[in-house]
Amino acid sequence: MKISVTRDVFKLAQVFTISRGSRTEAQVLTVRAEHKGFHGWGECVPYARYGETLESVTAQITGFSGRWCDLDGELPAGAARNALDCALWDHAAKMAGKRVWEVLDLPAPGPQITAYTLSLDTPEAMEAQAAANAHRPLLKIKLGTPDDMPRLEAVRRGAPDVPIIIDANEGWTAEVYADLAPHLIRLGVRMVEQPLPAGDDDMLAEIARPLPVCADESCHDRASLPALRGKYDMVNIKLDKTGGLTEALELKKQAQAEGYGIMVGCMVGSSLAMAPATILAQGAAFTDLDGPLLLAEDRAEPLQFDQDGVHPPSSKLWG
């Protein structure tokens, strides 16, 4: 198996801000796997929060032996393994002349309603964002500061009837969350994602959770699950955390068996990064695969988004 990796940059439609910082572009790594005349590809987004850089992940990819059976042993869960795993699944599907869900013996996927994420900003700006996107079926709000109530109130004014989920990106304390929780319910919030920092979230087992709390930074792969018990109600599965579709499907199965609800999320990347996750998202309580909607440019054969949600990829894109 011949493996190659390139860096690609996709401009964002507007500045995207979370509690940890802002960006104007998505920098991704594209991996291509070639063998017996067939090519597969995948994409990953190295994430500084997990100690990854474009350079470190590139080094991991170029150091891979090329043997799929050794992938889990050679690389930890993370961006490098994700791009390789997804490229190899694409390659396997093309060699078999089937769609990847047929190779996996899964039902054919259908469209899934996806959240649309509003960037962290001033209350006035977030109200304007919400009003401009009030036609969408689900909004996700980036919060995680000591001054979030005016932002949340503003979003609800801008989009009074749209279901809302919140991502605090580890930005709150237990006291802040406990104070905010009744207001979140009053304003119709359906779920809150990672309110406390990973590794400092034990208080979630001690305080009331009047609405579902979803683990994001606290959940990477199946090895994360024991530490989540009693603290979280859902897990956010992202391919760049699990290390690819293979582990993501296993994490989903085990998490469901242990009683967790499922959310399928993404980093900010192109349609190629989202394509494998559309398979994972089937039946999830919440899907957040809006990365391409935040871009000013995308892959040549992008995913389709419409009133039914995000559709599975065409064979020209992936799988």
For residue 48, give the 3-state DSSP assignment: helix
Q: Give catalytic residues, as residue numbers.
A: 142, 238
Alpha carbons 225 and 238: distance in angstroms, whole number: 14
User: DSSP readout, 202-230?
Assistant: GGGGTS--SS-EEESTT--SGGGGGGGTT
Burial (Cβ within 10 Å: 0-12, 13-18, ≥19) of residue 230:
exposed
Unique residue bearing structure tokens 């009030």: 134
